[in-house]
A = this chain, B = another copy of it.
Amino acid sequence: MSDNRELSTVLPVAPTRGRLRPLGLDEVRITGGFWDRRRETNATATLDHCRDWMERVGWTGNFRAVADGRIRQDRRGREFADSETYKLLEAMAWQTGTSTGSGAAFDADIAALTEAVAAAQEPDGYLNTAFGHPGQQPRYSDLEWGHELYCYGHLIQAGVAQARTQGEGELTKVARRAADHICATFGRGGIERVCGHAEIETALVELARLTGEERYLDQAALFIDRRGRGTLAEGEFGRVYHQDDLPVRDATVLRGHAVRALYLASGAVDVAVETGDEELLAAVGRQWEAAVARRTYLTGGMGSHHRDEAFGDDFVLPPDRAYSETCAGVASVQLSWRLLLATGDPRYADLAERTLFNVVATSPAEDGRSFFYANTLHRRHRGPAPAADAVSPRAESSLRAPWFAVSCCPTNVARTLAQLPAHLATADDQGIQLHQYADAEIATSLTGGHTVALRVRTDYPSGGNVTVRIDRSPPGHPWTLSLRVPAWTEGATAYLVDPDGNCRTVDPGTAEVTRAFRPGEEIRLELPVAPRWIEPDPRIDAVRGTVAVQRGPLVYCAESVDLPGGREVDVVRVDPSTEPEDGPAGTVVAPGELVAQDGPVDAVWPYRPLDRATVSVAEHTGIVLVPYNSWANRGPSTMRVWLPTTET
């Protein structure tokens, strides 16, 4: 199952085939800037925070309770609570595997958590604290909601992460025993059904990639093929919730529960790549396209229903009831990354960038110790701050909360940030491709064994200049450096300056420089990050008559704490006939006005005969906007991304 290419051994995703070759955490290092700060907070605050909360709420204790035979009375958390320990283990492993300084501190944590997990595994490989023990429901008696295979998926991903960062250890062995149990139990002639929450598929493929064992891939392919054939009972939300309404290769758009849909699509890409199934790969590509064109928020967020945490119908993208779950953002990045590796299409990196900066980066607070579960685009009430020492409801808090009853998001953010350097660049036979921009050092061997090394210097996303300096290059051996020109530059002008100082404009897509680079040469990409008005497709009814501001990849928002006189954001109107401008400290100032609140506030009925009365303007002023990912770090506030215009 290989095309004989050499891959790093420190790879979160290691497809054996595909258009682009991923670079490992040993080949790409983030050295400064936006993501370096986020990763440092992740390493020094979030990972400990997650470990401590899971100990406190008893989720890690569940494993010990199984070993001690007291799980029936002592189990804590929802049915999928085990998966949080696994996702934390995965995050710690990737953090350990990156070259920044804070990694080694997690070896002891990994060992201790692994010991607890291993002690709960049954002799036949079964491992779940919610099922199968005396007094509990039997194993696999609730595939719709039980999440047993979902939990295995995260266990296996953690085991793979350990193998690729620390070398195969106890966690990897536990994961392999679980995978063997799955193959024995869910193989042909076994339980021929699927899990209500996809995740096992992508994990089994990665384990096959790690171990070379085809049977893990076969089992993943079986799960993909079985989905959409009604092997799960239909629940209140319909078969579509579990993507069990249509076979993966027949579906035309992502649908149902957003995280489930995106995990499933990721697993389908993995299976398609490893089995050479072009039809399946193309099907997922079409689903991605349709979802991005019609079911995605400006932030990259996916999922507009609170009721079932699901994709809405096309163009149903309400900003004030946006769900845009953090985990759906994580899952979308994961899907786009797999599609990028498979196809090389820069659109996937475009969406990943948007989602990373505006969903994944929005969830954690500045201190890395509280999180948004849902990422609304319009908050109407300040509301009270969530309790600092209590578990919060998942989607209702007005500020980030330290932990949730369903707390999938914190560990998902953590594992994403821990492996983020791997998303920056890839290689192929022609050279190196830069997909995401950050201060970084990259070194790898090109085809033929030629070593290249380069460093990226940029103040992206604040600034648009990206300088790539060649540190090492095979003398006299030409290769191609490719740089993604983000789709958000459309309508403005981006420039590429080659090592000879020649400057040319570059269109959205990919800009390339091919030459026999010499050490010390520099290539410069100049991206137009001036703030710009963005308008929505007129079919997105919920934001008609509004505009948003984007600056580079960052979506901006108005937040009440920046308005004069304690006003709330619903008094803001902006004037899109004049461009927004950069303000101090990363803000943008948009021309606009604050409308008076006197008239309609006391209305007894909010509809009236059309009279075209002009709104009473209290004050013409510049409206200060801040990056969406930074909002709600200054106490309770109201906030909106889409701003009504003075024209409506």
Inter-chain contact A544/B644, CB cutoff 8 Å: yes
A293 at the interface (CB under 8 A from B): yes
Extra pairs beyond A296-B605, A491-B608 (4, CB < 8 Å): A306-B307, A320-B541, A539-B606, A545-B545
A548 proximity list for chain B (CB < 8 A): 607
Stretch among A37-45, A207-215, A311-319, A430-438 lining the B interface: A311-319
What residue in chain B is nearest A547 (Cβ atoms)?
A: B610
A-B contacts, 16 listed (Cβ < 8 Å): A289-B604, A293-B602, A293-B606, A294-B606, A298-B607, A306-B306, A312-B321, A316-B321, A321-B321, A490-B609, A536-B607, A537-B606, A538-B648, A539-B570, A539-B600, A544-B648
Within 8 A of B (CB), among A592-639: 595, 600, 602-611, 615
A533 at the interface (CB under 8 A from B): yes
A396 at the interface (CB under 8 A from B): yes
Taking the nearest CB of chain B, how far is it from the CB of A423, in angstroms? 20
Complex-state Cα separation, A539 to B396, whole angstroms: 21
Taking the nearest CB of chain B, how far is it from the CB of A639, in angstroms? 13
What residue in chain B is nearest A406 (Cβ atoms)?
A: B236
Supposing A318-B321, A544-B545 touch, asked if A608 and B307 sit within 8 A by C-beta, the answer is no
Inter-chain contact B610/A535, CB cutoff 8 Å: yes
Complex-state Cα separation, A180 to B460, whole angstroms: 73
What residue in chain B is nearest A570 (Cβ atoms)?
A: B539
Task: Pick the most buried of A306, A318, A603, A606: most chain B CB atoms within 10 A of its CB.
Answer: A606
Inter-chain contact A537/B296, CB cutoff 8 Å: no
Interface, chain A (partner B; CB < 8 A) = 236, 238, 289, 292-294, 296, 298, 305-307, 312-316, 318-321, 347, 378, 380-381, 393, 396, 405, 487, 490-492, 532-548, 570, 576, 595, 600, 602-611, 615, 642, 644, 647-648
Complex-state Cα separation, A405 to B548, whole angstroms: 42
Partner of A540, one of B293, B313, B606: B606
A606 proximity list for chain B (CB < 8 A): 293-294, 296, 315, 536-537, 539-540
Complex-state Cα separation, A605 to B347, whole angstroms: 10
Taking the nearest CB of chain B, how far is it from the CB of A81, in angstroms? 16
Supposing A307-B306, A533-B610, A535-B610 touch, asked if A541 and B644 sit within 8 A by C-beta, the answer is yes
Complex-state Cα separation, A604 to B288, whole angstroms: 10
Stoichiometry, as copies per complex, reads 2
Inter-chain contact A313/B607, CB cutoff 8 Å: no
Partner of A538, one of B307, B396, B540, B615: B615
Inter-chain contact B544/A236, CB cutoff 8 Å: no
Complex-state Cα separation, A600 to B535, whole angstroms: 13
Complex-state Cα separation, A596 to B606, whole angstroms: 32
A541 proximity list for chain B (CB < 8 A): 319-320, 378, 542-543, 546, 642, 644
Complex-state Cα separation, A648 to B544, whole angstroms: 8
A604 proximity list for chain B (CB < 8 A): 289, 292-293, 347
What residue in chain B is nearest A609 (Cβ atoms)?
A: B491
Complex-state Cα separation, A647 to B542, whole angstroms: 16
Taking the nearest CB of chain B, how far is it from the CB of A85, in angstroms? 23
Task: Pick the most buried of A536, A538, A541: most chain B CB atoms within 10 A of its CB.
Answer: A541
Complex-state Cα separation, A570 to B315, whole angstroms: 11
Task: Pick the most buried of A321, A396, A611, A615: most chain B CB atoms within 10 A of its CB.
Answer: A321
A609 proximity list for chain B (CB < 8 A): 490-492, 532-535
Complex-state Cα separation, A644 to B605, whole angstroms: 21
Inter-chain contact B318/A318, CB cutoff 8 Å: yes
